[in-house]
Structure 1
Amino acid sequence: MKFEESKNIIEFVHKKIQLPFGRFFICEDFVVAELNQEIHVDWLTIQKIAHMIIEQYGTSKKIGFISNKVNSYSIDPFVWVTFSKEYDFIESTAIIWYNNAGFMSATLEKMFLKNNVKLCESLEEAIHWVLSSEEIKN
């Protein structure tokens, strides 16, 4: 379920940012990312996302990142290795999957992410898990 179609849209103050490759919902302590259908996420795309997040939160705030895989797209999982070396503002990551292909992709991504990661079956589960992170609560 897309963030804009969920009941969560009214529960959290947010700002929507549309980039050429997806929509991002900036909430107080987390970001919900909904990438476009059939794109390929590479290092350049990840850098654009990271810079957009830094513009919104600064460099010292720890946040949660929710990848809401409402569309099918590919990602180079090795970008997460470089990301972990370059950036440290994401405390926890929730990846929401909706079908078998999404589950397999999320499982592969999880292997390369260095922060706390949880595979979720719903937006509500992902938001609850991200907000329960000790670093984000403080």
Structure 2
Amino acid sequence: MRFEESIYFSLLPHNKLEFSFGNYYLFDNFVISELHEGIHFDWDKILEVIGALIDYYGEQIEIAYISNRVDSYSLEPQLWHKFHEEFDFIVAIATVAYNDFGYYTASIEKQFAQISLKRCEELPEAMDWVKNLKEFRRN
């Protein structure tokens, strides 16, 4: 389910960023990405998104990342390692996989991620998980 088709679209305040390769929905402490069918999400695209996120959240950014994989696209899993070497603002990742191949791909990426990566079957499951991360709990 695309975020805009979910009940949360009208319930949760957010901002939308549109790129040629996909859409990003920005919340207080997490981001939902929905990349377009068939694109290859490479380092240049990652840097474009990072620049926009830093512009939006500021230099002290600390967020969770939800990859809502409603469409099929490619990504080099080792880019997670490169990302964590250069940037350190994503505290956890939730990947929503809608089929076996997507789940398998997320399992491979989990091996390369240096932070917690949860594989989910539905967008609400991913959103609940990131909203309850200990990094975002207020005492």
Matched residue SS, 2:37? coil
Structure 1: runs of 5+ lacking an equivalent: none
Taking structure 1 as the reference length, what is the TM-score of the superposition? 0.95
Q: Are residues 62 and 137 of structure 1, via their aligned partners in 2, closer, same or farther at CA, if it must alter by over 3 Å? A: farther
Moved over 4 A (4+): none
Matched residue, 1:129: 129
Matched residue, 1:6: 6
- Structure 1 range deviating more: 122-131 or 48-57: 48-57
Matched residue, 2:69: 69
AA in 1 matched with 2:74 = S
Of all paired residues, the percent bearing the same amino acid is 38
1:46 is displaced (CA, Å) by: 1.2
Q: Contact between 2:54 and 2:61, CA under 8 Å: does it hold in 1?
A: no
Aligned pairs (5 A) from 1:1-138? 1-138=1-138
- Structure 1 range deviating more: 31-40 or 8-17: 8-17
Q: Contact between 1:36 and 1:71, CA under 8 Å: does it hold in 2?
A: yes
Q: Contact between 1:46 and 1:79, CA under 8 Å: does it hold in 2?
A: no
Matched residue SS, 2:85? helix
